[in-house]
Structure 1
Amino acid sequence: MGLTLGAIVLNVPDTTPASTFWSQALDYTPQASNPDFLIPPNRAATRLHLDSTDRTHLDLWLTPDTSLAAEITRLETLGAHLVEDWTYPENADFTVLQAPDGTLFCLIHP
């Protein structure tokens, strides 16, 4: 196969604060020629999850050596917050947060 997923396009209300939050949250770098395009440091492939019932969002996987609580705290200092009224399934392996611009994302814990 000659294709790889190059980017996930995330609809945001204002690209400037979104770029600030997501580049800090993910340790990505805004591309010099287009700061709305954020580049991962290791250029690793990105997964695409297809789901007919869920809304568009990012799933951010915690590395095995990362504490969920510490990562939530770090993201909250960047302006994110927990979505308190989310209905989770039993034994959920994810936590839902909201970026400062209102977009939802999930932290997936291994």
Structure 2
Amino acid sequence: MLRLGAVVMRVSAIDRARAFWSAALALEGAPHQPAFLLPGDAAPGTRLHLDEEDRMHLDLWADDEADQRVQVERLVSLGARRVEWDYPEGADFVVLADPDGNLFCVIA
């Protein structure tokens, strides 16, 4: 069986990206690996691997539409920005960019 073990994301400054994504997703830095962010309390889950070469986008799932609105505003307050997007009718996602311009979606 396969599982998602890591997401690799290209960033221009690992320290800045680590600060944003650790606050956004409540992740902790891996000992002796500043580019790896892990779920807290040794909980199982996907690792976020920050990389200055590769590029990726994330889909972040909210509990419902109300939670989606709250999460979008929280992420914007942390430094994300809303992205102009041609949304299809009935879209259940909001496209944002992190401080490095990496696109990600918050999905209800």
TM-score above 0.5? yes
**Residue type matched to 2:78 in 1?**
L
Secondary structure of the structure 1 residue equivalent to 2:44? coil
Q: Which runs of 5+ in 2 are unaligned?
A: 48-54
Q: Once structures 1 and 2 are overlaid, which stretch shifts more, 72-81 or 62-71?
A: 62-71
Deviation at 1:33, TM superposition (A): 1.4
Partner of 2:75: 75
Secondary structure of the structure 1 residue equivalent to 2:10? coil
> How far does the alpha carbon of each residue in 1:65-108 deviate from its partner, in whole angstroms, 9 at most, with x for none?
9622211111111111111x211111111100010111111001
Q: How many Å separate the matches in 1 of 2:46 and 2:99? A: 26
Partner of 1:6: 5
**Residue type matched to 2:23 in 1?**
Q
Aligned residues of 2:38 and 2:46 also touching (Cα < 8 A)? no
Instruction: Give the structure with the larger strand fraction.
Output: 2
What is the RMSD computed on CA atoms of the aligned residues? Answer: 2.1
Q: How many Å separate the matches in 2 of 1:66 and 1:26? A: 18
Q: How many Å separate the matches in 2 of 1:77 and 1:99? A: 11
Deviation at 1:26, TM superposition (A): 0.5
After TM superposition, the runs of 4+ consecutive aligned structure 1 residues lying more than 6 A away are none
Partner of 1:51: none
Secondary structure of the structure 2 residue equivalent to 1:30? strand
> How far does the alpha carbon of each residue in 1:36-59 deviate from its partner, in whole angstroms, 9 at most, with x for none?
10002332358xxxxxxxx83000
Instruction: Give the structure with the larger helix fraction.
Output: 2
Identical-pair percentage:
45
Does residue 43 in structure 1 map to residue 30 in structure 2?
no
Equivalent residues in 2 for 1:47-58, closer than 5 Å: 56-58=56-58
Q: Which runs of 5+ in 1 are unaligned?
A: 47-54
**Residue type matched to 1:86 in 2?**
W
Q: How many Å separate the matches in 2 of 1:66 and 1:45? A: 25
